[in-house]
Amino acid sequence: MYYHLINQMKKGLGQLDHCLAKAITHAQAKGYDPNVLAGMRLAPDQFPLTRQVQTACDTAKLSSARLTGKEAPKHGDEEKTLDELRARIATVIAWLDQLGPADFEGAAERVVSQPRWEGKTMTGADYFVEHALPNFFFHTATTYAILRHNGVDLGKRDYLGALTMHAPT
């Protein structure tokens, strides 16, 4: 189950990359620097687009690392441009590509903790369902909303991507 859900996160990162590519094209067509979008936010007290993308990437890689016991790649959070954000997405997708179903054996029973939890823990199952998945989708949806709010021509299909459709039997 976790492997399939991580693949959905990987797909979501791919759609995030697609949205950033459309943002670059949109800005260039309108005659402004696409990187101005990196600092945009929906509300004054909310993370800007750059941090939204970084957090989506971190959630996908760190939740996978916590569930598999593997070490995730480190990023310095130094991205300033949309192209740099796209490169970060690519490195996270490449790392996730290395994981297989066997890597997630026992994930539900793993004990997960973070420094900010002050010694408290969660099971891998609770952590992934209650924290990782909602956090990932919050930050990808917020990135989409920031771009859409700033005029980038995005629709639901840009966010969802291709669906696994089956012909009637």
Condensed to tens digits (0 to 9), the pLDDT of residues 1-38 reads 889 999 999 999 999 999 999 999 999 999 999 999 99
* Domain 2-160 CATH superfamily: dinb family like domain (1.20.120.450)
Residue with tokens 């490169």: 87
Q: pLDDT tens-digit profile of 108-122? A: 999 998 888 899 999
Tell me how far CA of residue 64 lies from CA of 32, 71, 75, 77, 117, in angstroms.
37, 9, 15, 19, 19
Q: pLDDT tens-digit profile of 38-95? A: 999 999 999 999 999 999 999 999 999 999 999 999 999 999 999 999 999 999 999 9
d(CA 73, CA 142): 24
